[in-house]
Amino acid sequence: MKMIRHILFWNYTKEVKENHLEKETLQKLKESVQTLEEIEGLLCVEMEENLTSGYDLVFYSEFENLEALKNFQNHSLHEAHKKRCRNLVCERLCGDVER
């Protein structure tokens, strides 16, 4: 089986932008993403500021295979992460590629 790259683009919510909380929010998101590192089959994961226009953030991860990505989607650590981020990000764009 081939490795999978799972790449997401996000924007900060209107509330984050209106209150100029991008820097603090990025730190919260990075800390939350670190909790995902324990998930089996996840090879690497990170959240960073996007350097180009269009989206504010890039979530980058690699998985051992497609099955590992599928398991990640419903994993309890991922569910908790999504709950923590729910009011911080919006407008998701997702891409998955085999490597």
Question: Which residue, among 81, 87, 78, 77, has the nearest Cα to 11 in the 3D structure?
Answer: 87
In contact, 69 and 63? CB cutoff 8 Å: yes
**Residues 23/27/84/54 CA torsion (nearest 10 deg):** 50
Rounded Cα gap, residues 77 and 75, in angstroms: 6
CATH number for the domain spanning 8: value is: 3.30.70.100
pLDDT > 90? residue 69: yes
As for how many domains the chain has, the answer is 1
When the pLDDT of each residue in the chain is averaged and rounded to a whole number, the result is 97
CA 7 from chain center: how many Å?
8
pLDDT band at 43 (very low <50, low <70, confident <90, very high): very high
Look up the domain containing 52 and give its range.
4-98
What amino acid occupies position 6? H
pLDDT > 80? residue 1: no
pLDDT > 90? residue 54: yes
